[in-house]
Amino acid sequence: MTESFIGNRIAELLNTRQISTDKMSKDLAQSKDYIDNIIEHKQLPSMQSFLAICDYLGVTPAEFFTE
């Protein structure tokens, strides 16, 4: 697993569910910049944010890491 895995995986799941980063950021009450920074590999989400993202995308943390 590379450092870019989390951002790439979130982008992949958003794309398959046809959800924009703007919609996700609003739904999760996070700034769009925060979500964009995660997807662009500039930062990692906190554990709390990661779990909220998994829940939002309808995957368990285990499923998230299954390529």
The pLDDT tens digits of the residues spanning 30-47 come to 999 999 999 999 999 999
Inter-residue contact 56 to 24 (CB < 8 Å)? yes
Residues 6+ apart with CB under 8 A from 12: none
Inter-residue contact 61 to 28 (CB < 8 Å)? no
The CATH number of whichever domain residue 22 belongs to comes to: 1.10.260.40
Residues 6+ apart with CB under 8 A from 67: 9
Q: Name the domain count of the chain.
A: 1
> According to the model, what pLDDT value does residue 47 have?
96
Place of tokens 């703007």: 22
Q: DSSP class of residue 58?
A: T
pLDDT tens digits, one per residue of 11-32: 999 999 999 999 999 999 999 9
Domain that holds residue 53: 5-64
> According to the model, what pLDDT value does residue 3 have?
80
Count CA atoms within 13 Å of residue 41 on its CB side. Answer: 6
Q: Is the pTM of this model over 0.85?
A: yes
> According to the model, what pLDDT value does residue 37 have?
97
